Chain A
Amino acid sequence: MKGETVGEAVLVMADDDTVATALEDLEGGREIPTDPPLTVAETIEFGHKVALVDHEAGETVRKYGEPIGEATDPIERGEWVHTHNCESARGRGDRAGADAGDGLSEADQT
């Protein structure tokens, strides 16, 4: 497949990616033989992402060589990256609705 498997544990899709995808359930404490080696900080399930580098809040998260979102909080190398600390920059009608009139009344919000 495209991308590179590391230690049969994670898949890195492109060179400048800041996250890798777990190819199996990873326990906290597991060492991944990246360069330099990476210690998984917490349980990360199959298919979920581990941070390859530290991210500051607001920093772009990259996978497939492209931006896939922004860190909402600081993320340390080895941590699980998902909806709790990474959010989309696109389709943000919640941001648009705040200033533009969205045509919906209060009642529609329930």
Chain B
Amino acid sequence: MSGDRPSTVPTAAGDSGGQSSEPVDRGVGVRDRVLVLPSVICSRAVADRIADRVPGAVSAPHDHGCGQIAADAAQTRRAFLGIGTNPNVAGTVVVGLGCESIQSDDVAAALAERDVPVREVAIQDAGGTDACVEAGVEAAEDLRAADPPADPDLSDLTVGIVSGDLTDSTRGVADPLVGAFVDDLVDAGGRAVVAGSERVAAHPDAAAESAASEEVADSLRAVADRQRDRPARATRVSAAADEVDFTVATRAWGSGPLGDVLDYGERATEPGVSVVDAPSRFAEAATGLVAAGAQVVVHVTGEGVPTGHPVAPVLKVSADRETLAAVGDDIDVDATAATVDDLTEAVAAVAGGRPTRAQDHGLTSTAITRVGPSM
């Protein structure tokens, strides 16, 4: 095919995806996986097939990467970079088609600048899907990790927190349990990244008051502004958040001040609790939390959403008795019976290598939050 590779979609002037591509201290991984990351839906099948062939590799298939512009394209690109930078990732093979809006070689170059071991393959470069799978397998085998995962302390951990609903049992039992864990985590020197920005949008003043600084307060208000006059993505949670106060709506975030606000896809750099601008939709939120650097995700689910995430182990916590009875096999922690110490022990065990229920059944999603329509 003639010509150089096309250049990635232009976003706003000067945009590099919202965060500079410089070497980062990625922290300690609790899993050690080669990530096969499709840059577009068109290459997701190839990414899956590559990951299937290489032991220890996982793929992160999604529905996006083309037909996107401006803030929407920038956010998806940020999410790619964030996922690829997560410390659980030993290295990343970026798989593209070749003609898409968010170009695979551009994503790979940005990851390389962050010192992430990376390779890139593309279907059109390789000469078809079959050839691309072979090239991708070779690339993934190149990256296969040597170091076994470390056994981290709480102080090494960034834990992602997403509470998927505001049902009675969640509000009354599960969120407070997780919030108490977050407090202990932060006391021990660990970090929490939390999702559910529709709760900030429901109570912008109270959110601003919980901020650790004026700057963070402004960022929280900006998050709320962006959602004003628009239907929320997590419709039920948003409606429920309107009915309770901010403290109740965000119990799972702990009792401490909110130390930072992260764009979706952005990596956490501050200690304490950082709010990720992600909706309370588990699959999308988990990706945002993983991109923020979470090695483990704690998911409060009254509904019993069983899905995991390819990059980080997800601990399911529920206090809903019907859910525990119906789908107990999919839940890690029964919040009606667990203490904070139990939850802490569970997180530590998972960080140390114990599989979660979601890892047992193996079903995962990699959804990405969109902020604009497909073109």
A interface list, Cβ under 8 A from B: 25, 45-47, 93, 104-110
Question: Given B2, B3, B70, B226, which contacts A107 in the complex, CB threshold below 8 Å?
Answer: B226
Question: Given A25, A46, A110, which contacts B74 in the complex, CB threshold below 8 Å?
Answer: A110
Closest chain A CB from B233 CB (angstroms) = 15
In the complex, the chain A residue whose C-beta lies closest to that of B17 is: A110
In the complex, the chain A residue whose C-beta lies closest to that of B16 is: A110
Chain B residues with a Cβ closer than 8 Å to the other chain, count: 13
Q: Is the CB of A107 within 8 A of B263?
A: yes
Q: Is the CB of B226 within 8 A of A110?
A: no
B interface list, Cβ under 8 A from A: 2-3, 12, 15, 18, 70-71, 74, 222, 225-226, 263, 371
Query: With A105-B225, A110-B12 in contact, is A45–B2 under 8 Å at CB?
Result: yes
Taking A93-B70, A104-B71, A110-B15 as known contacts, 16 extra A-B pairs with beta carbons closer than 8 A to each other, sorted by chain A number, are: A25-B2, A45-B2, A45-B3, A104-B226, A105-B222, A105-B226, A106-B222, A107-B263, A108-B70, A108-B71, A108-B226, A109-B15, A109-B70, A109-B71, A110-B12, A110-B263
Q: How far is the CA of A107 from the CA of B219 in the complex (A)?
A: 9
In the complex, the chain B residue whose C-beta lies closest to that of A25 is: B2
**A-B pairs, 10 with minimum CB distance:** A109-B12, A108-B71, A45-B2, A110-B18, A107-B222, A46-B2, A45-B3, A105-B225, A105-B226, A110-B15
Closest chain B CB from A48 CB (angstroms) = 8
Q: How far is the CA of A74 from the CA of B2 in the complex (A)?
A: 26
Query: Which chain B positions have C-beta within 8 A of A25?
Result: 2
Query: Which chain B positions have C-beta within 8 A of A104?
Result: 71, 226
In the complex, the chain A residue whose C-beta lies closest to that of B18 is: A110
Closest chain B CB from A7 CB (angstroms) = 19
Interface of chain A, main secondary structure: loop
Q: Is the CB of A108 within 8 A of B18?
A: no
> Which of A25, A106, A108, A110 lies at the interface centre, i.e. has the most chain B CB atoms within 10 A of its CB?
A110
In the complex, the chain B residue whose C-beta lies closest to that of A102 is: B70
Closest chain B CB from A98 CB (angstroms) = 13
Q: How far is the CA of A105 from the CA of B219 in the complex (A)?
A: 12
Q: How far is the CA of A110 from the CA of B15 in the complex (A)?
A: 6
Query: Which chain B positions have C-beta within 8 A of A108?
Result: 70-71, 226, 371
Query: Which chain B positions have C-beta within 8 A of A106?
Result: 222
Closest chain A CB from B3 CB (angstroms) = 5
Query: Which chain A positions have C-beta within 8 A of B222?
Result: 105-107
Query: Which chain A positions have C-beta within 8 A of B70?
Result: 93, 108-109
Q: How far is the CA of A7 from the CA of B348 in the complex (A)?
A: 73
Query: With A105-B222, A105-B225, A105-B226 in contact, is A110–B71 under 8 Å at CB?
Result: yes
Closest chain A CB from B263 CB (angstroms) = 7
Closest chain A CB from B275 CB (angstroms) = 14
Q: How far is the CA of A10 from the CA of B222 in the complex (A)?
A: 53
Q: How far is the CA of A25 from the CA of B71 in the complex (A)?
A: 36
Query: Which chain A positions have C-beta within 8 A of B225?
Result: 105
Query: Which chain A positions have C-beta within 8 A of B263?
Result: 107, 110
Query: Which chain B positions have C-beta within 8 A of A105?
Result: 222, 225-226
Q: How far is the CA of A58 from the CA of B245 in the complex (A)?
A: 57
Q: How far is the CA of A36 from the CA of B277 in the complex (A)?
A: 61
Query: Which chain B positions have C-beta within 8 A of A46?
Result: 2
A-B contact pairs, 29 of them (CB 8 A): A25-B2, A45-B2, A45-B3, A46-B2, A47-B2, A93-B70, A104-B71, A104-B226, A105-B222, A105-B225, A105-B226, A106-B222, A107-B222, A107-B226, A107-B263, A108-B70, A108-B71, A108-B226, A108-B371, A109-B12, A109-B15, A109-B70, A109-B71, A110-B12, A110-B15, A110-B18, A110-B71, A110-B74, A110-B263
